[in-house]
Copies of this chain bind each other. A is one copy, B any other.
Amino acid sequence: MSHTTSGRDASLRERAAKVVPGGMYGHLNAAIFTTAYPQFFARGEGCRQWDADGREYVDLMCSWGPVILGHRHPAVEEAAAAQRAQGDCLNGPGPVMVELAELMVDTIPSADWVMFSKNGTDATTQALMVARAATGRDKVLVAHGAYHGADPWCTPSTAGTTAAERADLVEYPYNDLAGAEAAAGYADGEVAAIIATPFKHDSFEDQEPVDPAFARGLRALADRIGAALVLDDVRAGFRLDPRGSWEPLGVRPDLTAWSKAMGNGYAIAAVTGADALRGAAQTLYSTGSFWFSAVPMAAAKATIETLRDIGGVALMERAGARLREGLAAQAASHGFTVRQTGPVQIPWLSFEGDATLEKGMHWASACLEEGVYLHPWHNWFLSAAHTDADIDRALAGTDAAFAKLRARYGAD
């Protein structure tokens, strides 16, 4: 049954079409996935979500990243409730801002200071402002096809943006150091920052791990040309390594952008930076009405502490590995050649020879019908709330989906 034709979701879509452009917009616009996808969601608990028609899903998207401990995690909700009972949006930040900043500086070796904001785009934009203030330069090296947010300078669609807003971006190919060096040469002496995601997680494509030599090369290049190395850890941050996603490589960025999983769904973002950039950061006027609200900061503090205390990364790796192994076995047994890419806790699956993603879309829709919410062309996310039983429940659904796919397309 399509969600577009009957039930509560259909009726909400009909009403939304009148009062919201296109009925919905942005990354949660289900109209751009497949017709199987519901648009409206009613409830979340742990790693399960329920759509507006009451259908339950094992959730492998985690709201596109923010939910890392599971919905309504008690430690986070208790910390948020305790702060809320005192106050949230006040005439100044709460003491919790200092505690959260101290926790992040203690946890993240590249961080000597923190600036808070609300969304990933705030953080990537603010990081570039710090770099520009520090260097007095304008140009920024950006990997071709990378997503760094939805402000006019970075949104993937150029509708409503001007050429001037992107005039100072110079593209380089990810994982290609010679290409990055050529881009730096092209913008010789004018580069304020090199921005990179910790691995290649562009939509519609297989994910690609960073080549450690490339990461080290970017660090050396930034040093050589006097630019800031900015790690956009908005999507991957807190899932790969609590110290920052390039810390295992020994590569420390000058600035890092954080958001998504930082508050387990509460709206918060941050830039962390090195001492050398502290003075430049102080010169900015960068702010927002809700940036210093205390409740999301209390939630973020509880989220980061809980992830540390329960070994959150290891839990996500365990769940991710179980999912990956299960999917690999199912694909083989149904006769499909698939590619599973990305870290196991931020996975994606694509089908061999499926350039148009037709098979992938069909399979994702079938998973949805089987009570597994994942995405046809954007990476998925696991949380620390995904138990073995949850993964097994998801695998029961994906197995049935592979069977449906085989019935339609035959084996590879």
Contacts and interface: CB of A to CB of B under 8 A. Distances in A.
A153 B325 CA distance: 48
A97 B16 contact: yes
Please indicate which of the listed interface residues A12, A104, A273 has the most CB atoms of chain B within 10 Å of its own CB: A12
Interface string A166-179: 01100000000000
Interface stretch (A26-34, A302-310, A356-364): A26-34
Interface stretch (A124-132, A240-248, A327-335, A343-351): A124-132
Nearest to A67: B89
A120 B71 contact: no
A59 B292 contact: no
Contacts of A66: 89, 289-290
Of the listed residues A89, A132, A155, the one surrounded by the most CB atoms of chain B closer than 10 A to its CB is A89
Interface residues of A, number: 111
B41 A121 contact: no
Interface stretch (A280-288, A314-322, A385-393): A280-288
A26 B291 contact: yes
A44 B267 CA distance: 20
Contact of A164 (B18, B90, B121, B165): B165
Interface string A25-51: 111101000000011111111000101
Given A26-B286, A287-B28, A287-B150, A168 B164 contact: yes
A25 B282 contact: yes
B152 A125 contact: yes
A395 interface: no
Nearest to A99: B15
A138 B165 CA distance: 10
Interface of A: 8, 12, 15-16, 18-22, 24-28, 30, 38-45, 49, 51-52, 57, 59, 61, 63-67, 71-72, 86-95, 97-98, 101-102, 104-105, 112-115, 118-122, 125, 128-133, 138, 149-153, 155-157, 159-165, 167-168, 234, 259-260, 265-267, 273, 278-293, 296, 373
Give the 4 A-B residue pairs with the shortest CB-CB distance, closest first.
A26-B287, A129-B160, A267-B290, A89-B265
